[in-house]
Amino acid sequence: MIVSSKIAIYPQIQPTLKITLFAVPKPFIGQISTLQRNAIASWLNLSPQPEIILFGNDQGVREVAQEFGVKHIPNVRCTPQGTPLLNDIFAQVHQIATYPILAYVNADIILLNDFLPTVQQVSSQEPKFLILGRRWNLDINHPINFTTSEVEKQLRDRLQQTAILGGIGALDYFVFPKPLFSKLPEFAVGRAGWDNWMVGEALNQNYPVINASRVITAVHQNHDYLHLKGQRQEAFHGGEAQHNKALSRGTFAGNSADATCYLTFQSPSENPRVSLVIIPGLNHSENLQNTLESIENQTNKNLEIIVINQIHQPINSNNIRYIPQSFSNPVDAYNTGLNHAQGEFILFLNEGCLLKPDAISQYINSFEEQAGSVEMVFSGWETSHTSIQPSPILSPVLKGSQGLHGLHIWMLPNLWLLLHPSSIMFERNSLKRCGEFDTNLSPTAAILDRVLHLSSRGYAGICLENIGVFCPILEENITQKINDCEQILNRFFERPHLPNWMQPLKPKAYYNTWVWLAFLCYHSGEFEQMIELLKRSLSYSPYSTVETLSNWIERFTRISQEYNCQFDPIKLNNLPLWKQFLKTLNSPEIKISV
C-alpha cells in the first residue's frame, strides 16, 4: 500500500486564477431544474468568475445558458439512446476552452469559495495533476440566491447539521490542466464507471492524483432519477452503465482513497500531527507516569501531550500541556481535550494505558494509506487478561463493496466488546464537526456514541491489523451500561435528519442490544434484570414466540463464546424466574411483534 503525501492549503488567499468549468446538464424539468440552476449560480459566484460551458441539447439547456450568460455547445455525439458521450465533450472542451485549467463538474454540484483557492495553490506546485474529492449530500428543494452575503454561511451551517459525506467512489468533479484527458473512451455521461476510470488512468500516467475532500466543499443536491426510465437502477446497472464498465476493463477503477496526495488546511502555526489527550484518575499515580513514558518511547515524535489535570500538581516536563479542570465524569475531560487539541489527529488515553512504541506511526500510516479518505482508525488492544483484535469482525463491514464505510448502529454489542476508548484515533476536525461528547454517558458509551454518529454522517474507518495499546481493565456497572445503551439508541434514531435507509434498522438495533445486555445480566447473576431486558426485546423481535425463544438461546451461546465465559441452557431452564417468564409468554397480555 502506498502512503500518500499531504499538501497544506491556505484557505484565506484571494485567488487570481481563471479556469474553464464545463458540465453536461440533464433536462431542466421539475426538481432537477431547480438544483441545476442552483449549481450554475454557485459557479458564477466564484471569484474570479470562471468561464462556464454547458454541453448538450436536452430540454432547457440552451435557454438556461442564455439566461445565465454562459457558453452553450449543443452539438455533442450521443449513444443510440441519446446520452451524450464524454469523449466528444472532453475533446471539444480542449479545443474551445479559453483557459488552460479545466474543471468537469456534475451539473447538480454547488461549489463554494474554497474551490478556486485550492485549485490555484495546487496548480502552482504541480504542472500535471488530477484534483478530485468526495461530496456532501444535502436535501435542497428551493432556489438559492447566491448574490446575498449570508448565503454561503447559511449553506455551511446546514451542511454542519444535516449533510452526509459521500462515499469514496462517488466523484463529481475533476480538475486538470490541458492537454490531460483530451482523449477518453466513449463513456456515456451520467452512468457508472467512467469517474473511477479517470482515477485509474491518471495513476497509470503517473499524474499526481489529489484528494481535496477536506478542503473543497462540493455540495451534491439530493435528487431522484425520474429523468431516466429505469431511474437509479438504469444509471448504475443499466445497459449504458454496463457499456461504461466494459470500456473500463483493463484500467484500475480508482477512488479518492487511491489518491497519491491529499489536501488539508494550513494552520496558522506549525501544529503537531497528533494530539494525545490523557485522562488521569482522581489521584496521580505511577500509572500516569507509565502512560507518559510509553508516549516518550514513540518512534513518531510529531505529537502534543495534553493532560487534563484534576489536582493541579503537574509532573515537570517541557513538552506536556497541563489543563486544570475538576470533573466528576471523564467525558468532561474528553471535551476539554478536544477543544484544546491542535493536532490533525486525536487519541484519548485513559491513565494507565500504554502505547506500543510504533503505535502512533501505525495509526498515521493507516490514515495516509487511504489518502485522507478515513476519519477513524481502530486498533487492537490488550489487557492483563485478554487480547482484543477488532479487525476480523469490523474490517469486512468497513471495507464494503462500495469502498470505505463506517459502522452500523445494530452492531452496538460488537462495538462495546471490540473497541476501547483509548484504541481509536480520530481525524480531529471531523470529530469536532459532529459536536461534543455526551456527558450523560460513561466514557466508553460517549466514545461509541461519537463513532456511530460519525458513521451515520458518512465518515469512514479502518482497522489496524495488530495491537496498538495496553489498557487497564475497565470496571463497568451493568445498570449504567443498560442506561448508556438506551440513550445511544434513542438519540441515534431520534435524529431529525437520519438517512431514510437507517430507520428500518431500528428493530434490529434494539433487539440485538437488549438480548446482549440480557446475557450480561445472566452472567452477573442479575436474573430479574435479564427477564426485563428479554421482555423489551420481544417488541422488536422479527420471529414468532417459539422462534424468539430459540434465538435467545442461540445468541446467549454465541455471546458466551465471544466473552469466553460459560452458558448452561439447562441451568437457565431451571431458574424459577425463567420458568415463570415462559408461562407469561403464553399470556394474551404479552404482545409479540412478528
Q: Would you call 241 exposed, middle or buried from its count of C-beta atoms within 10 A (0-12, 13-18, 19+)?
A: buried
Looking at residue 282, its pLDDT comes to 52
Strand partners, 304: 275
Locate the domains of the chain by residue range: 5-265, 274-494, 500-584
- In sequence order, what are the residues at sequence separation of 6 or more whose Cβ sits closer than 8 angstroms to the Cβ of residue 563? 417, 523
Average pLDDT value over all residues in the chain: 90
pLDDT of residue 2: 55
> Which pLDDT value is given to residue 399?
84
Strand, helix or coil for residue 310: coil
Give 315-354 pLDDT, tens digit per residue. 556 678 988 887 778 899 999 999 999 999 999 999 899 9
Buried b (16+ CB within 10 A) or exposed e, 439-454: eebbbbbbbbbbbbbb
pLDDT over threshold 60, residue 264: yes
Cβ neighbors of 45 (< 8 A, separation 6 or more) are: 146, 147
The number of residues making up the chain comes to: 594
Cβ–Cβ < 8 Å for 297, 357: yes
pLDDT the model gives residue 251: 75
Selected from 2.40.160.20, 3.30.420.40, 3.20.20.70, 3.90.550.10, the CATH number assigned to the domain covering 274-494 reads 3.90.550.10
- Pull the grid cell for residue 216: 473543497
Cα distances from 206 to residues 31, 123, 367, 413, 584, in angstroms, run 40, 16, 22, 45, 69
DSSP 261: E
pLDDT band at residue 285 under the 50/70/90 scheme = low
Is the pLDDT score of 230 beyond 60? no
What number of other Cβ atoms are within 10 A of residue 427's Cβ? 22
Report the pLDDT value the prediction gives residue 429, as an integer from 0 to 100.
94
At residue 314, the pLDDT reads 55
Picking from 38, 34, 39, 9, the residue whose alpha carbon sits closest to that of residue 23 is: 39
Q: Which band of pLDDT confidence, cut at 50, 70 and 90, is reported for residue 26?
A: very high
Is 398 within 8 Å of 488 (Cβ atoms)? Answer: no
Instruction: Pull the grid cell for residue 269.
Output: 502555526
pLDDT tops 50 at residue 593: no
Mean pLDDT of 300-327: 78
Residue range 74-83: mean pLDDT, rounded: 92
Q: H-helix or E-strand containing 522?
A: helix 506-523
Handedness of CA 189, 190, 196, 202 (dihedral sign): positive
In the structure grid, which three cell numbers stand for residue 51, read together? 468561464
380 dihedral zone (left: phi>0; alpha: psi -120 to 50; beta): beta
CB atoms near residue 206 (< 10 Å): 9
- Kindly tell me if the per-residue pLDDT of 3 is higher than 70: no
What is the DSSP track for 334-389?
HHHHHHH--SSEEEEEETT-EE-TTHHHHHHHHHHHTTT--SEEEEEEE-SS-EE-
With bands split at pLDDT 50, 70 and 90, how would you rate the model's confidence at 283?
Answer: low
The tens digit of pLDDT for each residue in 463-484 reads: 999 999 999 887 889 999 999 9
Instruction: Report how far residue 289's alpha carbon sits from residue 428's, in angstroms, rounded to the nearest whole number.
Output: 25
Confidence at residue 516, expressed as pLDDT on a 0 to 100 scale = 98
Check the CA dihedral 159-457-501-442 and report its sign. Answer: negative
Region of poorest pLDDT, from 13-22, 318-327, 483-492: 318-327
Residues above pLDDT 70, as percent of the chain:
91
Read off the pLDDT of each residue in 8-35 and give the average, rounded to a whole number.
94
Supply the pLDDT for residue 588.
Answer: 42
Beta strand 164-165 pairing with 136-138: antiparallel
With 90 as the cut, is the pLDDT of residue 227 above it?
Answer: no
Q: Which of the four CATH numbers 1.20.120.80, 1.10.357.10, 3.90.550.10, 3.20.20.70 does domain 5-265 have? A: 3.90.550.10
Q: Summarize pLDDT for 432-464 with one digit per residue, the tens.
A: 999 999 999 999 999 999 999 999 999 999 999
| pLDDT per position as a tens digit, 567-588 | 999 999 999 999 999 998 874 4
Residue 250's pLDDT is: 67
**Better-scored residue on pLDDT, 105 or 245:** 105
> Nearest CA to 280 among 301, 318, 306?
306
pLDDT for residue 324 = 84
The whole-number average pLDDT for the span 46-60 is 97
Grid-cell match 440480557, residue found: 518
3-state secondary structure (DSSP) of residue 102: strand
Quote the cell numbers at residue 346.
486525536
- Beta strands 345-350 and 274-279, pairing class: parallel
In angstroms, how far is CA 237 from the centroid of its own chain?
25
Helix (H) or strand (E) holding 209: strand 209-211
Confidence bin at 247 (pLDDT 50/70/90): confident
For 131-171, how does the pLDDT look when each residue is reduced to its tens digit (9 = 90+)?
Answer: 999 999 999 999 999 988 899 999 999 999 889 999 898 89
- Summarize pLDDT for 175-225 with one digit per residue, the tens: 999 999 999 999 989 887 888 899 999 999 999 999 999 999 999 999 654
Region label for 331, one of left (φ > 0), alpha (ψ between -120 and 50) or beta (otherwise): alpha
What is the per-residue pLDDT for 231?
Answer: 39
pLDDT in tens, 523-554: 999 999 999 999 999 999 999 999 999 999 99
Distance CA 308, CA 276 (A): 11
What is the value of pTM for the model shown? 0.91
The whole-number pLDDT of residue 476 equals 83
Q: What is the per-residue pLDDT for 402? A: 57
Please give the residue that has the higher pLDDT: either 556 or 1. Answer: 556
DSSP H or E segment with residue 330? helix 330-340
As a whole number of angstroms, the distance between CA 160 and CA 542 comes to 36
Query: Does 274-494 match 5-265 at the fold level?
Result: yes
DSSP 183: S
Give percent of the chain with pLDDT exceeding 90. 73
Q: The C-alpha cell of 513 is what? A: 442490544
Q: Which position has the higher pLDDT, 120 or 12?
A: 120
